[in-house]
Amino acid sequence: MKLTILGAAAGGGLPQWNCGCANCDDARAGRIARMTQSSVAVSVAGERVILNASPDIRAQLDACGLHPAGLRGSPAASVVLTNGDVDHVAGLLSLRESSPFTVHATSATLDILRQPIFRVLNPDHVSQSPIALDQPFQPVPGLTVTPFAVPGKVALYLEEGEPDTALMGEQTVGLKLEADGRTAFYIPGCAAVTGDLLARLDRADLLMFDGTVWANDEMARTGTGAKTGARMGHMAMSGPEGSIACLAGLTGTRRVFVHINNTNPVLQPGSPERAELEAAGWELAHDGMEMTL
């Protein structure tokens, strides 16, 4: 299986349109690489699946040379969604020109696609296939995908009052990807590492994991806002309860952070945070990064 990071950033991208933080300024000036929003392409035996459809999908497909082989047609047979966040579903609106493909998502996420604007995905050509927790399915021949619940919350625009930020259910899933005896996990949003998750990840070849923030209070630290990572449904990389510590036992697994927020100090190549991440055996995804298992 071949995986291509179409977009390594969290919602907003790098630079983010309304942000003048050090990272966004450096990206504008070309001092650090720009990143588009959260998406991965998976290819198995000549067939392709896209994991999450970001608002940048048109440019991402173009940048990665993903286009029809013939006159018209979707370069991906399927799109699999992990939640209903804007950075993961808004790109569907750009895939509207009546080329056949299938959207696989939980019923909770498919409910969001019932909004009238998503009727641009003509049901004569685009099918919606409900997926169930812990039920494997094959979006293309040779690739088995198993969705499973990870702690998370409903999408920001669905919040009413104070949401449960570590809800287990259909609203936030991770994906286990299996092909040719190799296993990869894609978990772009996760509020906590549970014992169940650790057990699932045992002996995986590759883990692509939520790298939104380095520190829970990072938005306050960078002066960009007051919201914590936890309030956004994202666990921090650092600290005793952070992902680096919680996943430190996965030494045989290639570990790559994805869904990186523009406030994250690891985006600075010379930062102590980046050094700590790399010393712990992690990699930082970048747009166009390719991994073959």
Instruction: Report the DSSP pairing between strands 78-80 and 182-187.
Output: unpaired
SS3 95: coil
Which H or E element spans position 87? helix 86-89
Q: How far is the CB of 267 from Zn ion (least distance, A)?
A: 9
Q: Interface residues with Zn ion (CB under 5 A)?
A: 19, 21, 24, 262
Stretch that binds ligand MLT, among 13-21, 94-102, 226-234, 244-252 (CB under 6 A): 226-234
Which of 21, 59, 64, 86 touches ligand MLT (CB under 6 A)?
Answer: 86
Asked if 85 is part of the footprint of Mn ion (rule: CB under 5 A), the reply reads yes
DSSP state of 198: H
Residues 8-37 as x/- pattern, contact with Mn ion by CB under 5 A: --xx--------------------------
CB nearer to Zn ion: pick between 17 and 157: 17
Do the Cβ atoms of 99 and 107 come closer than 8 Å? no
φ, ψ for residue 158, nearest 5 deg: -105, 0
Measured distance CA(108)–CA(272) in Å, rounded: 40
Asked if 14 is part of the footprint of ligand MLT (rule: CB under 6 A), the reply reads no
Stretch that binds Mn ion, among 12-20, 78-86, 179-187, 221-229 (CB under 5 A): 78-86
Which of 5, 8, 10, 204 touches ligand MLT (CB under 6 A)?
Answer: 10
Q: Tokens 């299986």, residue?
A: 1
Do the Cβ atoms of 131 and 137 come closer than 8 Å? yes
Using CB distances below 5 to 8 A depending on partner kind, what does residue 19 bind out of Mn ion, Zn ion, ligand MLT, none?
Zn ion
Q: How far is the CB of 263 from Zn ion (least distance, A)?
A: 6
Q: How far is the CB of 176 from Mn ion (least distance, A)?
A: 20
Which of 232, 235, 246, 256 touches ligand MLT (CB under 6 A)?
Answer: 232
SS3 94: helix
CA dihedral sign, ordered 116, 121, 124, 126? negative
